Structure 1
Amino acid sequence: MPIIHQITNIANSRLFTIESIDLEFNNKKKRTYERLKPKNLETVIVVPIIHNQLLLIQEYGIGTENYRLNFPKGTIKSEENIINAANRELMEETKFGAKKIVLLHKLFISPSYTPGTINIVLAKKLYKKELKGDEPESLPIIYWPVNHMLKLLNEPNFCDTRNVCALLLTHIWMHNIIKTTIS
C-alpha cells in the first residue's frame, strides 16, 4: 500500500469537503491526489416493477441542467437499513411501497474519489403508499415495459451511470444469472 504522508482539506461546501493527499508508492514515486473526504455515505437506487412495467421518475439534475429519467434513489439515513431506505425513497418519489426487495449489487460510486457506496435493489409487489419527501417539485412517473427494458439505453435522457448499472443488473437478475435476496 502507498504511504500517506499528509492529508489537507483544500475546499469545503455544504455537501462536500475536498482533501489533498500526498502519497509515496513502493517504488518511491510521490503523487498528490484529491478526493472527497471519506464519509459513511451509503445510498440506494430502487428499480420498481409493477404489472410488468418499470417505474421511472423524471427528475431535474443540476449537473446536466436538464430533466432526466431516473430510478428512485437517495441516501440511507443512519438509523435505516437498505430495505427501509429503499422503501422510504420509493414512497417519497413514486407514491408506492414494496412488499419485496431484492438486493442486486453493491457498488462504489467512484472509488478513485470517494468511498461512497450505492446499493442497487429491485422492488416488487408494489402497493400505493405516499410519504412526503424533500423534492422541490412533484416527480412525474414514467411506466416502461419490462420486456423492452434495454430500449431505455437508447433514450437520451436515461444517461446516469447508476441507472444504467441498475437496469443491466435487473436484466441479468431477471434472466436468472444472479440471485441474491434480502427481505
Structure 2
Amino acid sequence: MPRKPPVIHATRLVDASRFLRVEQVDLEFSNGERRTYERLKGSGLGAVIIVPVRDAETVLLVREYGVGVNRYELGLPKGRLDHDETIEQGADRELKEEVGYGARELRVIGRLSLSPAYMTHETYVVLAQDLYPERLPGDEPEELEVVPWKFAELHKLLGREDVTEGRSIAALFMAREYLAGRFRPA
C-alpha cells in the first residue's frame, strides 16, 4: 500500500556529520602521475544487508522511506554494525528490528561497495535462513512493511519505480545464485 512521504520542513548543508567526513588523499600512480582525490569516509564498523529467506522460493523485502530520493523504496533490510558486534550478530539484530524475524542460520556471502571511486563504505551481504518470529525495537520512525517476493520473479523487480537501491538488487541476485549453487564466495 503506497504511503505518502514525510513532509520536508527544511534542508541545510552541514560541515560535519556524525556518520561521514570528507578526507583528501594524495596519490602517486605507477606512471608518476600525482593526484589528490576526495572521498567520503564512513564512521563506524561497516554495515550489513540481509537476504531473509522465508522458504526455498521466497525472500522477505521491506518498504522503507529513503530521504536521499524522497520516496519509499522496496529492498532488503540493512543497517550499521554496532560496536562489539560481529557481522552475523548485526545482521540478526537488524533482521529482528526491521522484519520481525531472527535467523538460525546466517552466512556472509559477499561484500558490496557503494561507490568505490569516492567512498570507503562497504556492506556485508548476509544470507539469513531458518527464520523464526522475533521482534526487537528498532530505530525506524515508522513500522516497515514486509513484502514477500519469489526468487523466480526477481527480474520483475528491475522494472519497478520503487526498486532502485543497487545494494539490494545485487545482494538478491548474489543470494539467488548462491542458493542455486552457481556462486561461492572467494
1:16-42 deviations in Å (ceiling 9; x for gaps): 211223333343433221112364531
Q: Distance in 2 between matches of 1:120 and 1:27?
A: 36
Matched residue type, 1:150:
H
Matches within 5 A, 1:125-136: 125-136=130-141
The match for 1:50 among 37, 54, 64 is: 54
- With the length of structure 2 as denominator, give the TM-score of the two structures: 0.83
Matched, 1:90 2:90: no
Matches within 5 A, 1:109-124: 109-124=114-129
Query: Unmatched 5+ residue regions in structure 2?
Result: 1-14
2:27 is matched with 23
1:6 is matched with none
2:159 is matched with 154
Tell me which protein shows more strand as a share of its residues: 1
- With the length of structure 1 as denominator, give the TM-score of the two structures: 0.84
The match for 1:13 among 14, 17, 33 is: 17
The match for 1:79 among 81, 84, 96 is: 84
Q: How many residue pairs end up in the alignment?
A: 170
When the two chains are superposed, the root-mean-square deviation of aligned CA atoms in Å is 1.8
Secondary structure of 2:39's partner? Answer: strand
2:11 is matched with none
Matched, 1:100 2:105: yes
1:93-136 deviations in Å (ceiling 9; x for gaps): 01111111122112333222232221111111111100000000
Distance 1:119 1:172, change over 3 A: same
Query: Unmatched 5+ residue regions in structure 1?
Result: 1-10
Identity among equivalent positions (%) equals 38
Matched, 1:34 2:57: no
The match for 2:173 among 155, 168, 172 is: 168
